[in-house]
Amino acid sequence: MVNINKSCAYLMYYCIWSFSQICTNKTHCVLYLTVMFLLLGNIFITYSSDVSSEMMPFVDFLTKQGFRPAIDNHENTIRSMDINMWKDSHLRNPSNLVIVAISPKYKADIEGSVTDSHGLHIKYIHTMMQNEFIQQGSLNFRFIPVLFLNASKEHVPGWLKNTHVYRWPHDKEDLLLRLLREERYVPPPVPMELTLIIRPVALGSSVSL
């Protein structure tokens, strides 16, 4: 059976990408950004407790860029939210991007034996993400690993290591482009000096190409 929600989401991605290709003037670009934020602005952030102090500035940054971020351990939301409601509203919606805040404790939470409620919650979320990755044929469409504090790529889960990894706040511009479903344009290198070689050809001689 075809998953209608996922099919609609992928069709939506294609339509927005197609429109972005014809965004040739300011009016078109404003319309494009407006549609994009309305449809693709939801972002969920999963993280471990060692980066708690980094989350609110990070969320504030995303909010100021026009996104609608939600985090999995907010004092006023997750404690009063039913886990099934949370699951359906965030992970089950294929149009929502998920930022995975990578840290040493995140690696420990998903790989070790955890007993605290937050660690168990993180491990449960990670299992759901990994299962979706496997069901998608080991293709990652919406999980974005971001390194925080002293984390390194060694702390990234194995199934996410083939995905581009960002570091906060060093890569914030590239991260924004990823959240916008855009790519940074890298112009080809141009040499500082161009060398022009002129070879005179004698009159009457034949030139072979």
**Which residues neighbour 134 within 8 Å (Cβ) at sequence distance 6 or greater?**
none
Bridge partner residues of 60 (DSSP) = none
In this model, does residue 117 exceed pLDDT 60?
yes
- Report the distance separating Cα 38 and Cα 132, nearest Å: 24
- Report the distance separating Cα 132 and Cα 91, nearest Å: 9
Which sign, positive or negative, has the C-alpha torsion 170, 176, 179, 183?
negative
Take residue 49 and report the two structure tokens written for it. 């407790």
Residue-wise pLDDT tens digits, 48-87: 999 999 999 999 999 999 898 988 754 444 444 566 566 6
- DSSP string of 157-181, one letter each residue: -GGGTTS--EETTTTHHHHHHHHTT
Bridge partner residues of 167 (DSSP) = 147
Residue 3's pLDDT band (cuts 50, 70, 90): very low
Q: At what angle do helices 117-135 and 104-111 cross, to 10 degrees?
A: 80
Q: Tell me the three state secondary structure of residue 146.
A: strand
Q: What pLDDT is stored for residue 107 in this prediction?
A: 95
Backbone angles phi, psi at 73, to 5 degrees: -140, 30
Mean pLDDT confidence for 154-180: 94
In this model, does residue 38 exceed pLDDT 80?
no
In the chain, the DSSP E strands lie at 42-46, 68-71, 97-102, 143-147, 166-167
> How far does CA 116 lie from the centroid of its chain?
28
In this model, does residue 177 exceed pLDDT 70?
yes
Q: Which residue has the higher pLDDT, 209 or 162?
A: 162
In this model, does residue 40 exceed pLDDT 60?
no
The Cβ of residue 43 has, within 10 Å, a number of other Cβ atoms equal to 22
- Report the distance separating Cα 134 and Cα 120, nearest Å: 21
